Amino acid sequence: MEKSALQIARASYQPKLPKALQGPVKAVEGAPTQSVDNQDEIQRMFPNTYGMPVIRFEAGNATVCEPFNVGIILSGGQAPGGHNVISGLYDGVKSLNPKSKLYGFLMGPGGLVDHKYVEFTDAFINEYRNTGGFDIIGSGRTKLEEENQFESGIQILRELGIKALVIIGGDDSNTNACVLAEYYAAKNYGVQVIGCPKTIDGDLKNEQIETSFGFDTACKTYSELIGNIQRDCNSARKYWHFIKLMGRSASHIALECALQTQPNVCLISEEVEQKEMSLDGVVTYIAKIVASRAAEGNNFGTVLIPEGLIEFIPAIKKLIAELNDVLALPEAKSLASAEEQLAFVRSHISADNLAVFESLPSDVASQLALDRDPHGNVQVSLIETEKLLSRMVAKKLQTWKKEGSYSGKFSAQHHFFGYEGRCAAPSNYDADYCYSLGFNASRLIAAGRTGYMSVIQNTTAPAAEWVAGGVPITMMMNMERRNGRMKPVIRKALVELDGAPFKFFAAHREEWAQKTCYVYPGPIQYWGPSEVCDQCTKTLALEKK
Ligand code: FBP
């Protein structure tokens, strides 16, 4: 594989490990745990993996470990650092016994079901250390939830002598990891399942998980690009840039990028919902800032938009909830064309929701009514909210111009940052964090655990002081409506409006709106002073302050 000079230099970076993982470990157990809600139902559904204690690794005595084989799966959207989770797991497994083997299932959970895999070797792994992407084995969004998939999986796991499977994924994939752990435990199949918190969206976090891996690098990459745009915008002074940012439902990415770059406007979906803002309310909010900057001769600016915004406008949220149920009806499954699907939806939703549906621009309405991803989520990355909002802002400004309350110029540029950041080479933070998560997973396996997520805490401190351990996945679960049915799922973390990151943003946004006080973060640095190279996200720093 041809490599750039940076890649060659970066390959020799040795990621840091928490002190506790640098030698033999012992597992220290905490008290039994409960799920975050719906305790009785979750306990009934996960009798073998419910209530287990949180585990923390501390320095222990060396023991002899028989060789054992492990499988790994990359599930869902790419996130920087996935290759380091795999190299950390590989090194961890080999350090316990060099005869142990690591297998990778190809193209996501589907590789387990279809028996497509590779065996990792030193040479193979070394090609991918500290690189971005998931291309080492590929990823996929096949949902592991059917008994026949679990049974097909056990065949290949037995054939390869695999005693544990590590699933790297977001909230949905880790929910499925837990379902699989429970199934194999109930059947006494002797295969452990360990999860690992991945997603650039940053929405897989809670009291135990400080952040999902990839969030750090993706936000730093987007913030570099936003900073570059802001410098361009402040130089030419003629465009308003509408920038949509990935993140699914949660606005963590938009908020973090705002904290890093100080744009003129950043919408936070969770706040839009709390304030029960309408689409027109959101448009008016942006247009007022455009007009007040124009009054000072500043006909330029930046607007950050979380990709899930549309789902949080209360009337649209209600519409989506009904659309989800309608699309989950058995008759909806056989509709072949988009036209048939739209006609079906129109004839099955309530009059109120139909009115909201028809009031939306037709491209947005169609997108809301068409295919969900395999986990039942609206594919918000396909909805061009940045164009929708700028079109509506332009229209409002025209009206104000006619009324004489606005006399500026408004010209918009549009951007969508998502795929640009998902495969970036991991920052030092993500390189170390991911390697530690993978290495730590090998210790959870050796400790005989199943249904646990690998966790590394205290990550705002130097890596040596990070705390390693495991958290039962059932502890993060509650019941939610998915595809028309109540299901046990890991609770998604949305932006907390009483949390320190949002409060900091809210305290500064008026100043950022009116004055031009952009910050230009520049590219991620790997070598140099620690305050440049080793900082975590502003979100995490504020949360841990
Ligand atoms: P995960 O939740 O699987 O980590 O995916 C993150 C994400 O990048 C979202 O931000 C985005 O909405 C979605 O994936 C896009 O999906 P796809 O890669 O299928 O286009």
Residue bearing the CA closest to ligand 1, atom 15: 381
Crossing angle, helix 338-348 and helix 314-327, to 10 degrees?
Answer: 110
Instruction: Measure 79 CA to ligand 1 centroid, in angstroms.
Output: 9
pLDDT tens-place string over residues 445-502: 999 999 999 999 999 999 999 999 999 999 999 999 887 789 999 999 999 999 999 9
Instruction: Measure 520 CA to ligand 1 centroid, in angstroms.
Output: 26
For the chain, give the mean pLDDT: 95
Average pLDDT over residues 77-81: 98
* Predicted local confidence at residue 324, as pLDDT: 85
Phi, psi of 315 (to 5 degrees): -65, -35
pLDDT(383) > 90:
no
Burial class (CB in 10 A: 0-12, 13-18, 19+), 448: exposed
DSSP helix/strand/coil, 102: strand
Residue 417 structure tokens = 């940052």
- The CB of 380 under 6 Å from ligand 1? The reply is yes
Higher pLDDT, 344 or 218: 218
* Predicted local confidence at residue 167, as pLDDT: 98
Lowest mean pLDDT among 9-18, 130-139, 216-225, 338-347: 338-347
- The CB of 248 under 6 Å from ligand 1? The reply is yes
8 Å CB contact between 241 and 229: yes
- The CB of 375 under 6 Å from ligand 1? The reply is no
Lowest mean pLDDT among 32-41, 192-201, 220-229, 475-484: 475-484
- The CB of 470 under 6 Å from ligand 1? The reply is no
Closest ligand 1 atom to Cα of 199: 4
Give residue 375's pLDDT band: very low, low, confident or very high (50, 70, 90).
low
Q: Which of 153, 181, 221, 231 is nearest to 426 (CA)?
A: 221
Q: Which domains does the chain have, with CATH numbers?
A: 17-214+426-482 (3.40.50.450), 216-421+498-543 (3.40.50.460)
Handedness of CA 370, 375, 380, 382 (dihedral sign): negative
pLDDT(202) > 80:
yes
pLDDT tens-place string over residues 90-105: 999 999 999 999 999 9
pLDDT tens-place string over residues 530-545: 999 999 999 999 999 9
Mutate to test the pocket of ligand 1, among 85, 200, 204, 257 (most ligand atoms within 8 A of CB): 200
Instruction: Measure 43 CA to ligand 1 centroid, in angstroms.
Output: 30
> DSSP letters along 11-57, please?
HT------GGGGS-EEEEE------SS-HHHHHHH-TTTSSPPPEEE
- Is 373 one of the catalytic residues? no
Give residue 19's pLDDT band: very low, low, confident or very high (50, 70, 90).
very high
Catalytic residue among 171, 172, 201, 430, which?
A: 201
Average pLDDT over residues 124-145: 95
* Predicted local confidence at residue 296, as pLDDT: 96
Instruction: Measure 39 CA to ligand 1 centroid, in angstroms.
Output: 30
pLDDT tens-place string over residues 311-333: 899 888 888 888 888 888 888 87
Instruction: Measure 202 CA to ligand 1 centroid, in angstroms.
Output: 11
